[in-house]
A and B are shown apart, each in its own frame.
Chain A
Amino acid sequence: MKFFQLLFFLCLAFNWLFSQNTTNNIKLLVPKDSISFYSFNKEGITEYTILESKKLSKTSLRYTGSFPEELKNADLRSLSFLFSKDGGVYFLYPGGGILFKYFNGVFERIDESFAYRNQFSGHFFEYKNELYLLGGYGYWASNSLLTKFNFELKNWEFIPTSGQVPANGINSGSFVLDENTLSVFDFNQRIDDLDVINNSLYSLNLEEMVWERKGLLNTVLFEGNKNVFEIEIPFKNSLFQKNLNSNDLRITTPKENQIKFFNAERLHNINELAIIVGNYVVYPVLSADREYETLTVKNLNENIVFQREEFLSNDFNLFKNYFVYVGVFCGFLILITFLKFKKERFVFFLSENSLSGLNKTILIDKDEKFVLDLIVNTTEKRVDNSFILNYFKNSKLSNDASVKRKNKVIEELNRKALENFEIVLIIKRSSKIDSRQVVYCLNPKIEI
């Protein structure tokens, strides 16, 4: 029995060592840089540094001055936050408007505005030392508003944007800021009082404040429920997303038009309060008796297993495959059309004074009959000009007149055939033996 008691306490100690537990009221984790992060609560702040051994060193201090009244009854975890390049941490009240800053031990409200309540679930971000809030919902409508905090006026101002603005609002979206481009995707828009998923990828150029629709999102983003990946954490120039109830994890990089899917079995207990610090994922885990929280630090690379990669924008594979089939179809269509007309043969019947075929008959005179007979009775359906000309030669006529007579007969025959059968009967070509000589051939599509 004593052995088991000893083993139990050893396990507790082991667990404490490896899970880096800290106790007492961990409220809100905010990443600071690639190795350290803050933990805020209403009394003070603890700064943690991840050591190479994955252990945490911590420094705690109490706020100097009073903690803001507005937050005394609020849940810190409902605030949007960001660690600014000026070294401070900014906290935005839900819905926009009220802004707090933590710097050098002082946690204070810095705005002179009010709770706007029209940008719930908007995206709070920093670009070139300015704070912005994009989109969100409020007062029964979604919006695509972009507001910026004016540090001089201590108030928020509207920033106009142009281009292909998502006109029906951006609500509960996914956002990735990379250099001067904010990619926005997987968000809801409000149409006819209904939340409808917008399946496009948008980007906002923060230099020119111009929106651009980059294309259609891959349908894998909409498999099942929209909220399949509830945990969303900015991760370098990507977005880390994890499903709460399964091991599915994906990292989306809009700049590379890429979504990587991973199995994250070892991150099974990760929750919505997780942050990423460098390559480590840090998250609080509530103890079994729900009395205290423990911080867990895990190396991301060692705890996720790559599964597959997909395009973020455009289901190109489907689109490309479709056009392969379309290309084959068009090829066949043109080929079959070509073959149909190439192989088309028209049968005509020649009598003493008529030519019949295609449900029609035309009258022909004896000269025309002779020309046709002459051509038809040759094996190659081809007669030299001189043979035909001999027939038309007449001692009373000049040579030129005979040629004209011959040409007139052939032209008249062709005219009648074209008019009635829509086909030319006799074709004039140059001789294969002597290109200066002319031969008359029967149209290869005709059998007489």
Chain B
Amino acid sequence: MSESFFFYISFFVVTLIVSFYFNGYINKLFIGNKLTDPVNERSSHRYPATRSGGISIFFTICLACAFGVSTGQLTIPLYALLSVFFLTLTGFADDLIDVRYREKLFLQLFAAVLMFQSGYSIDSFHGVFNVYELPYWLEVASSVFVFVVVVNALNLIDGLDGMASFISMKFFLVTGGIILVSKTEWFLFFPIIISALLGFLWFNFNRNKKVFLGDTGSLFLGSIMAFLLFYILDSESSLVTDSLISRPLLAVLLLLYPLIDTLRAFIIRAYNNKSPFVADRVHLHHRLADKGYPHWKASVLTFSLSTFILIANFFLFSIIGLLGCVALTTVLLVIFYFIFFK
């Protein structure tokens, strides 16, 4: 325990330093090349900021994972890696030369199919609606759909400083526990990604050297999350949480805020006869910002509330069951909405 603990901690610390360095260095490069984020009416920043966070996290993780793999303590599934790389490049292109939404969606579908080849997919509903094993066509369809939803949901919540990082960190911290027990050979990735995000967060909260995730970062993190969701929802994987909570419920709770916010934004836009993909300020975090919450407070608040709901469900699932947990989550969401977001 102690030996592996220090191994993980050392990777965490070294990656954190590398992440600090890369974020600062690449931010300078972007500013030097006048690749700053334009300030418009939707922007919450008034200073020159760059979208270099995603590419910095990407480089940091690539470097740390390369060392991790060389120690023999980390394995990375090939097709998942290809899919993540593909989507990261898509995001990078989008950051530099705005890619049209339809083209981006097509590229996301391609990445989803690549991810499906990794051997992990949503092949079962695990008893939700009394459905277990899925036919192959539905397995493919639901996997691709979830992939696209997750990737875009993370992209959409990246509207406040720290929001996407905190939500991602919550996801990776919880899935890290599951992977630690059931798939130890992947675990080293989690200290690496958490510290890479921490390094980015420092710059994201910085006023003078502000750095955003950009599409590179949100698509990169989103595709990794989608892969881990595939692992969680794959019937062949064994999870330590199986006796604690239903897998589909866990998957939803891990990404509760992005999913709820995206669903809400789509419904409002559809109600107002607008395209669901149009950018506006109907997101929940915009309400927080408009109410006067500083970005960091809004991010920490969202992180804390969604973590609270997750923990409550973990503790109560064995007592109140799946339907009870869904009801509980709905009630908590309504209460929190009226207390904090209304």
Which A residues are within 8 Å of any B CB, using their own CB? 162-165, 167-168, 191, 198-200, 213-217, 219, 313-316, 318-319, 322-323, 326, 329-330, 333-334, 337-338, 340-341, 358-359, 419-422
Contact = CB atoms under 8 A, between A and B. Distances in A.
A38 B162 CA distance: 72
B242 interface: yes
A164 B127 contact: yes
Contact of B242 (A213, A329, A334, A341): A213
A248 B305 CA distance: 48
25 contacts: A163-B132, A164-B132, A199-B182, A200-B242, A213-B242, A215-B238, A215-B239, A215-B243, A216-B181, A216-B182, A216-B242, A313-B243, A315-B240, A322-B177, A326-B174, A329-B173, A330-B307, A333-B169, A334-B303, A337-B205, A340-B205, A340-B296, A341-B205, A358-B47, A420-B46
A199 B238 CA distance: 7
Contacts of A214: 242-243
A232 to B, nearest CB: 22
B173 A326 contact: yes
A163 B236 CA distance: 14
A314 B208 contact: no
B242 A419 contact: no
Contact of A323 (B47, B126, B177, B239): B177
A314 B169 CA distance: 24
Contacts of B162: 337
B127 A314 contact: no
Contacts of B173: 326, 329-330
A318 B180 CA distance: 8
Given A215-B242, A313-B243, 15 more contacts: A214-B243, A215-B244, A216-B242, A314-B181, A314-B240, A314-B243, A322-B181, A326-B174, A329-B173, A329-B194, A334-B300, A341-B294, A341-B297, A358-B208, A421-B46
A191 B244 CA distance: 27
A319 B132 contact: no
A213 B127 CA distance: 11
B133 A167 contact: yes
Contacts of B297: 341
What interface size band does chain B fall in?
35 or more
Nearest to A213: B242
B235 interface: yes
Interface in B274-315: 294, 296-297, 300, 303-304, 307
A359 B48 CA distance: 11
B47 A319 contact: no
Given A322-B176, A358-B207, A216 B300 contact: no
B31 to A, nearest CB: 12
Contacts of A217: 238
Contact of B177 (A313, A326, A333): A326
Nearest to B178: A319
A359 B235 contact: no
A198 B240 contact: no
A284 B207 CA distance: 81
Contacts of A334: 300, 303-304
Given A319-B240, A341-B296, A164 B182 contact: no
A421 to B, nearest CB: 8
Contacts of B240: 215-216, 314-316, 319
Nearest to B294: A341
B177 A319 contact: yes
A316 B133 CA distance: 28
Nearest to B162: A337
Contact of A319 (B127, B180, B238): B180
B236 A168 contact: yes
Interface string B168-186: 0100011011001110000
Interface in B18-76: 45-47
